[in-house]
Structure 1
């Protein structure tokens, strides 16, 4: 609201309304306010209606302050925008009214698959959804169409979709984007440059990285994980002395992935004496792990903190061991001991340092360490169960489902519904086979008294409805109501059925 109107509301609304400049070349808003003024003699009602009208104009991206600029040209026609009579239009209106983010993401993907744009009536709500959710923007921008980009330029809150914000820069503008752009623009430029010319990308960072804030330096260093090469060592090695602890650690973790790097060799030199073997009388080899006995001052040059934080649950020696373990590549353990990932995890449980080992391994594991991920999931909740969803997210969908209960009822009993949903990134769904099992269980769950008392389960099942595979949706049939549902339960059932109905409509 205009500050003058706020002040007017605070001191009283009995006087005349504050002046509002007419739109340049268009007095329709003034005419509307005048008409409102003739509707009765209640000052409070008059003020509220006028303020509401101005608020609606603001939401419609109409500028209410005087401007000498010319009235903008109208938006160009968009032949790819869905007509209001299109079967999807009503569903899309529901999606961007108050549907879950995952459903909005999927709707945009579905439009993109058909090279279609949002209906013009849905565009304002879609822009608001993009304002609230940064992850949504990547799939929203391609389906906004010319009307959406035109409208976005008149509302500062929608600037992410304005033409000048989303247009791809020309080749000769790339340097300007790096010099003058936001952090996100610079990061995008770095990724693009690294993909086509790694040497130039490294040279750019080497010359200017120190000029950025610690948070930005961290982002640029983490971007080097894609396409990591031995040639990156010269860039990363000096960062072990960076001012920021996070930057030092990020550089150290990347250097450890380069087997020929001096940093990786130093890590192995420190770690190998701590993991040793001996033969017993029967000729069998057994392995032992010992934590460092004393602080090595050289660790400071490898992003290893010698001083244990007060809040740290590990003891001092365990703290040192954990920091070494989290940097050493997991492949080294199998090479050094000739044990598989599962065997190493089982062995670690018998040592005095299992907590430090498990914590370090969990931080080191990545999507390429599939045998380790499977072994960690099979190890049980005590070892790695605290981040089960994070581990599952590293696996392809078919491999995740092997670790989940085979019925929705058991998922609910074990409290794993949120893990199943959380392991799916935006735009991902479960497999058709697993989805068919869950959708049958969902129909049974909607008649279960468990939903009556469990708010969290109701919200989790709503999210679950958004990640079921599209091919399974044909098995869904609405659930008859018993008539004794609480208001909250009835609303939850309605929301779940609404999500499934919208998804079915968008699959047609």
Structure 2
């Protein structure tokens, strides 16, 4: 029987069905060392499939073996002449994908835009895109899952927004690739006990957060019962779930965790206890600080750390030995204590507003320690009384990281009242005011319709006419306009896009805008400055592409998800 005849017979069996037309006997006798490599590959793979005891039908065994042989041939597999060949047993097929519980957007246009954003990895668009899908109860289309999982692998911060919209197939895929294991887990419909036992770390954190909202005691008991089984890497973020619904009922567990073997767990427990002014931890810290405070002859408050540290401090997270980069051990002790004390202690004890406290620290020998400590405390204690002071601190990276969480404690109306005030103030250019507002916003969020229209009016005045108001030829200007594209209400975006999608100005229009008063001709340098002053952010092709992509994506999301 020639090779051509053998393969023709195999093809017929595959087409008709091996149950009706059995395979040629040559394929069931094991590998023939003298046969062509492709034939040996199929013989070997089929023998492994049959010998593995899978109990599968002969037709399925043939299909699987053919697939293995095809891959071996494409990979350049060489059969050993005159010696037996062995292959590892075929891996069991993965479990079927559970049925999806969420729909996916059907718009081909939207899917194409989402694919482009995923391909380019635009982080400032990915989180809002995932959040919009989640808010509408939808998931990512199957064709975008691999790209999305890869983006999540590269960005830990993105996973919070990504994992809820992966759907069942996304979790199924994640379980098959170790690099995507962060997104694996059980089905969305699984019961809480199964999620806790088998779910991913993100799923278990979500479960604890949910239980803390509905039944804080239940979540606390679940966490406490599992502490010994959890690694330090798991315990640290799980302890922070207690911030949801935090109360004095959590104090015994948090006090216990102050002695945990993990430094990060101990720090997280101290951070949470500092939010409870009546906790033993807070009382001890404020007691030590109270002993450092006194009034001078003029009745003014002053503070002086002790000359020696106390071993009692260490259990409450006060390190006695400063890091190498810290100069001054007393300042180091004070900074740590201020960072762990309730910020309300200072307002209540000294009778000062945050602005007055800041000024008071300026006159102290311990200004840096006090200010660093207050900013550290505000990271966990979102006291909105400090917002006005923080907004006066320009170009301070520490403050920029604090403002979003503090502003999030306010209602939408309260936040936008502050932003409206920033827009109306004379201080700074419109570009600077927009960037200041953007720096205080969270990763995901947009303006209300009224706020968006108010801001759009300002943009129209500055950029909508034949002449530009202000200088819009800078990186800061680019960022301000891109921030507007991300934050404006979707209903206002067509109006924003008209700024750059309207017909370009003619040469006559440009000539009429030149400074020709008195018929004075401009020097080349003056002409060059004038040309630069006319430039808008979208005159840069890169910025124009970003603007169009952002606007198109958000408009498409709004249209598809608001139906």
User: Normalized against structure 1, the TM-score is what?
Assistant: 0.70
Change (3 A) 1:99 1:507: farther
In the alignment, what sits opposite 2:326?
Answer: 312
In the alignment, what sits opposite 1:502?
Answer: 553
In the alignment, what sits opposite 1:176?
Answer: 197
In the alignment, what sits opposite 2:513?
Answer: none
* 1:410-443 deviation line (CA, Å, top 9, x unaligned): 36569x84x6545433331245436425754677
* 1:474-502 deviation line (CA, Å, top 9, x unaligned): 32212567999999932332232232233
* 1:318-361 deviation line (CA, Å, top 9, x unaligned): 11211121111111112112222222222222222111111111
Change (3 A) 1:144 1:331: closer
Does residue 427 of the first structure (1) align with residue 441 of the second (2)?
A: no
Contact 2:235 2:265 in 1 (8 A): yes
Distance in 2 (CA, whole Å) between partners of 1:113 and 1:200 is 27
1:302 to 292, 316, 323: 316
Q: By how many angstroms is 1:194 displaced?
A: 4.2
In the alignment, what sits opposite 2:9?
Answer: none
Change (3 A) 1:205 1:30: closer
Distance in 2 (CA, whole Å) between partners of 1:500 and 1:409 is 27
Does residue 293 of the first structure (1) align with residue 293 of the second (2)?
A: no
Runs of 5+ consecutive residues of structure 1 not aligned to the other structure: 1-15, 38-46, 51-64
Q: Please, which moves more after superposition, 199-208 or 232-241?
A: 199-208
Distance in 2 (CA, whole Å) between partners of 1:263 and 1:118 is 45
Distance in 1 (CA, whole Å) between partners of 2:71 and 2:154 is 31
Q: By how many angstroms is 1:236 displaced?
A: 2.2
In the alignment, what sits opposite 2:128?
Answer: 106
Does residue 259 of the first structure (1) align with residue 297 of the second (2)?
A: no
- SS for the counterpart of 1:472 is helix
In the alignment, what sits opposite 1:91?
Answer: 113
Q: Please, which moves more after superposition, 421-430 or 265-274?
A: 421-430
Distance in 2 (CA, whole Å) between partners of 1:200 and 1:78 is 27
Change (3 A) 1:289 1:376: farther
Q: Please, which moves more after superposition, 118-127 or 295-304?
A: 118-127
In the alignment, what sits opposite 1:395?
Answer: 407
Q: Spell out the pairing of 1:133-172 with structure 2 (5 A cutoff).
A: 133-136=155-158, 139-140=161-162, 165-172=186-193
* 1:119-177 deviation line (CA, Å, top 9, x unaligned): 55545544544554455555555655666667667666566666x54434324536634
Q: By how many angstroms is 1:369 displaced?
A: 0.5
Does residue 333 of the first structure (1) align with residue 346 of the second (2)?
A: yes
Distance in 2 (CA, whole Å) between partners of 1:143 and 1:77 is 11
Q: By how many angstroms is 1:316 displaced?
A: 2.1
Q: By how many angstroms is 1:297 displaced?
A: 3.3
Distance in 1 (CA, whole Å) between partners of 2:132 and 2:547 is 20
Q: Spell out the pairing of 1:364-383 with structure 2 (5 A cutoff).
A: 364-365=377-378, 366=380, 368-378=382-392, 380-381=393-394
- SS for the counterpart of 2:278 is coil
Runs of 5+ consecutive residues of structure 2 not aligned to the other structure: 1-36, 46-60, 77-87, 409-414, 508-530
In the alignment, what sits opposite 1:40?
Answer: none
Higher Cα radius of gyration: 2
In the alignment, what sits opposite 2:372?
Answer: 359
Contact 1:323 1:360 in 2 (8 A): yes
In the alignment, what sits opposite 2:295?
Answer: 277
In the alignment, what sits opposite 1:472?
Answer: 492
Distance in 1 (CA, whole Å) between partners of 2:94 and 2:205 is 36
User: Normalized against structure 2, the TM-score is what?
Assistant: 0.64
Q: Spell out the pairing of 1:167-206 with structure 2 (5 A cutoff).
A: 167-173=188-194, 176-177=197-198, 183-206=201-224
Q: By how many angstroms is 1:254 displaced?
A: 2.7
Superposed CA RMSD: 4.8
Contact 1:439 1:468 in 2 (8 A): no
Distance in 1 (CA, whole Å) between partners of 2:416 and 2:543 is 29
Distance in 1 (CA, whole Å) between partners of 2:314 and 2:431 is 47
Contact 1:322 1:360 in 2 (8 A): yes
Distance in 2 (CA, whole Å) between partners of 1:116 and 1:354 is 51
Q: Please, which moves more after superposition, 24-33 or 288-297?
A: 24-33
How many equivalent residue pairs?
449
In the alignment, what sits opposite 1:10?
Answer: none
Contact 1:221 1:250 in 2 (8 A): yes
In the alignment, what sits opposite 1:5?
Answer: none
